[in-house]
Amino acid sequence: MKRFSSIFLLLLLAAVNASAQQNGSLSGVVTARNGEPVAYVTVSIKGTSYAAATTDKGYYRINRVNPGTYTVSVSAINIASQEKEINIAAGQHHMVNFVLDISSTQLKEVMVNARHNSVKMDNPSQSLRLQEPLLQVAQNIQVVSGQSIKEQQIISMSDGIIRNVSGAVRLEHWGDLYANITMRGSQVQAFRNGFNVVSSYWGPLTEDMSFVDHIEFVKGPAGFMLSNGDPSGLYNVVTKKPTGQTKNEFSYTVGSFNLNRATLDLDGKLSKNGKLLYRLNLSGQNKGSFRQNEFNDRYAIAPVLSYQMDDKTRITAEYVYQRANMSDVGSFYIFSPTGYATHPREFSDLPSGLPPTHINDHSLAINVQHQISENWRLTAQAAYYNYHQNGTSMWADSVERDGRYYRNVGIWEARSAMSLGQIFLNGKVTTGPIVHKILAGVDLGDKKYAADYSQTHSLDTGSAPFDPKAPNLDMPSNGYPVYDRTLNLEARAAAGFGLINSHYTSLYLQDELGFLNNRIRLTLAGRYTYVHQSNFGTAQKANHFTPRVGLSISVDNQMSVYGLYDQAFTPQAGNVSVGKLKPLTGNNIEFGVKKDWAEGKWNTTVAVYRILKNNELTADPNAPANSGLSIVFGQRRAQGVEFDLRGELLPGLDLTANYALTDSKVSKVNPGVSEALAIKVGDVVPGYSKHVANAWLTYKLRTGALRGAGVSGGFTYMAGRQTDTWSVGLLKLPDYFKLDGGLFWEGNKMRITANVFNILDKYLYSGSYYAALAAYNYQAEAPRNYRFSVSYKF
């Protein structure tokens, strides 16, 4: 047997060697005209699937190429492609180098836009204001690439995006209206292109993925780089911009529950000299639900114009319009006095005639970048956001012991207007052996939010409560609501404590000192913020200085270790029932290790942290969910461990995997909170999961008759789930496991993707216990469902 195995092994090695001798290979280095390596650009053999990305040293290699004459091309966003003819001979290796005619400024842009066709991105967007690769940043920043969004068929910000980031969970209370993402034990701030777009606790409207390029998740305080930041972090949605290349793509998706969705992405030049560029993204969808009478129809229009005035100045103007027409935003919840998931998964209490919620969401942004010199760049940008919502939110007035309950529909008409401005300067100065990377800037914001949610209507009369055992979804016994709109929205909002206004000015300065050829990087930064806000009838002024100290050390070219101390200062909005409204303050201590593997093809990050947050608001568990009442409970401490892996492990094999251990507890209680709500030191803070693990794997065949075909799959696991209010009841949420997967085929112009979600058809849900109702509330997720997409590039 051993002799047979040896002979078989020798034959196998001979066959592999013979196969290798029949093919050729090529490699080389891509550099700019100044000799600097051009990293992460694509080198491909035209008309084939052979391609490779350059490393951080500009090196690339393509193996197992069939003999023949080919055109080798190197390309990247915002630069002209370069081509060379080459004859590949069997069994021979060929060297093909490229020198690109690009300036240092263009080279930086290439680095920023690198790896757009990979699940791993190595550089932050310009909106994060950093001047270095993520590997060197003294903070845990995870980026969800456009390729991951496409592979996983994600269609909105609330649609599974968080599986790609360690420790991120959602409070699903508002469905697809708002994302409400929690990391490190708290809800994080929502940003778009570097602007804080949160005008109230409930915003903003989830972004449609048709106009989204990628999403950056910044762990820990980030006020130094963007705005008033939460100690737990933020996510920054980066929208699609013109690339200077003519690239158009149409995609159509069908799926369960009558999902029909079409998107169109047009990208090109409006002038022959390439100075005036455009990008236009359009989308439209009709989407039903596994529950009766629920729907979510949306469309989006997102044009972008970019004009290169000269070699130093570029102006980009962007407009986004989202229109949503959806069923009542609170209809997902079911109520039961006995526990969770007590009714069939498809059960609904939404009457068929309740008017839908309409939303119009506009945003306009202008960005001007001016390259002052080789080492200095000035960026100025301004944005205006206008949001109007007119609809309702369902909840329960009361719940009977036999399971019947009284449905209540509250008006939810809201308008938000935000005027935002930023000016920041990036530069580099050398003093002796030390290189200083300077960041300085000003942030300005004026936010106004007005909402009428004070008018309510009970759908059910006292003699005829809603009976889940015999649900009637026709005309309710007490009819549909008719709200009084005699006064304008602002007047109604003022009378009902529905006004939230905030004006702020921030100044910041950061110096990153590079020692020993930038192998050691010390970050020293400070930010001064002045805020004047009036929330729910309570006005306050505050100012605060927040320091930041970070240290990042490159062990070698592919590994760094870092430490960080940071503080945060954020104004808060809330109608406080217990405690006194104050700005949120906090600090974060974090240590981590980052490493690139296999010449940068994949990356791992391990981080440990400890966060203290003071004066934080949380929903009052004794009040209805749509009351807007909050408590200021004192101080919380969150600590944990995070692990992220993403990239190409083997040729054709991409993996995104992560795990987080999060522990968030009360460390201090304000006077009056314990007496009113029985919250004490050591209590677990609601709204997160102690253990969260995710993975998404994709394997694509690169050769053979099935070249371009592939398989993908992934899971989400959560354990130690905490409810989203302090009233935890007698039952805890069970562990959560969801399995998804599918098949795809991708050619030069077409991609076909089919995924099945919740393959095991588990009854998945989230929920809480509300003491005011003496009942559990929960919302179920969809049963096994599918999506099928066809994309065509032209």
Residue that is written with structure tokens 């009709």 in the block:
286
| pLDDT value at 399 more than 70 | yes
How many Å separate Cα 251 from the centre of its chain? 22
CA distance 493 to 484: 12
Task: Tell me which amino acid residue 163 is.
Answer: R
Left if phi > 0, otherwise alpha if psi is -120 to 50, otherwise beta: which for 517? left
Cα distance between residue 392 and residue 358, in whole Å: 10
Tens-digit pLDDT profile for residues 561-600: 999 998 877 766 667 777 777 777 888 899 999 999 988 8
Give domain status of residue 469, yes or no: yes
DSSP designation for 75: E
**Chain position carrying tokens 């200085």:** 545
Do residues 642 and 595 lie in contact, with contact meaning Cβ atoms separated by under 8 Å?
no
Residue 488 lies in a domain: yes
User: Taking all residues of the chain, what is their mean pLDDT, rounded to a whole number?
Assistant: 88
Place of tokens 């995924």: 755
Q: Which of 53, 71, 104 is the last residue of a domain?
A: 104
Q: Which of 69, 104, 139 is the last residue of a domain?
A: 104
Question: What is the side-by-side order of every strand in the sheet holding 775-780?
Answer: 334-336, 775-780, 765-770
Mean pLDDT in residue range 731-748: 95
pLDDT at 107: 66
State the maximum Cα–Cα separation within the chain, in Å, rounded to a whole number.
94
Residue 442 confidence (pLDDT): 95
Q: Can you tell me the mean pLDDT for 76-87?
A: 76
According to the model, what pLDDT value does residue 19 have?
A: 42
Distances (CA, A) of 670 to 44, 677, 681, 724: 62, 11, 10, 20
| Distance of alpha carbon 209 from alpha carbon 149, whole angstroms | 8
Cα(130)–Cα(123) distance, integer angstroms:
9
Cα distances from 580 to residues 229, 667, 670, 725, in angstroms, run 21, 18, 9, 19
Q: Is residue 514 in some structural domain?
A: yes
- The string of pLDDT tens digits covering residues 206-236 is 999 999 999 999 998 765 666 566 778 899 9
Residue type at position 566? D
Question: Is there a domain that residue 267 lies in?
Answer: yes
DSSP state of 208: B
pLDDT tens digit sequence for 355-376: 999 999 999 999 999 999 888 9
State residue 687's pLDDT score.
82
In a domain, 368, yes or no: yes
Cβ-proximal residues to 373 (8 Å cutoff; 6+ apart), any chain? none
CA dist 339 and 532 (Å) reads: 44
Q: How far is CA 120 from CA 10, 148, 155, 575, in A?
A: 38, 9, 20, 42
The answer as to whether 456 is a domain residue is yes
Q: How confident is the model at residue 12 (pLDDT cuts 50, 70, 90)?
A: very low
Please give the residue that has the higher pLDDT: either 300 or 731.
300
Other beta carbons less than 10 A from residue 770's beta carbon:
24
Which stretch of DSSP H or E encloses residue 673? helix 673-677
Choose one of 104, 129, 151: the last residue of a domain: 104
Q: Is residue 228 part of a domain?
A: no
**Global confidence as pTM:** 0.85
Domain that holds residue 84: 22-104
Structural contact between residues 234 and 183, judged by C-beta atoms closer than 8 angstroms: no
DSSP of 418-486 = EEEEEEEEEEEEEETTEEEEEEEEEEEEEEEEEEE---EEESS-TTS-B-TTS---SS-TT-------S
Task: Supply the CATH number for residue 94's domain.
Answer: 2.60.40.1120
127 within a domain of the structure (yes/no): no
Count structural domains, the chain: 2
Segment 461-487 shows an average pLDDT of 94
Q: Give mean pLDDT, residues 552-561.
A: 94
Radius of gyration of the chain (CA): 27
Helix (H, G, I), strand (E, B) or coil at 211: helix
Distance CA 34, CA 24 (A): 31
d(CA 640, CA 457): 44
The enclosing domain of 485 has a CATH number of: 2.40.170.20
pLDDT digits (tens, 9 = 90+) for 311-323: 789 999 999 999 9
DSSP annotation of 156 reads: B
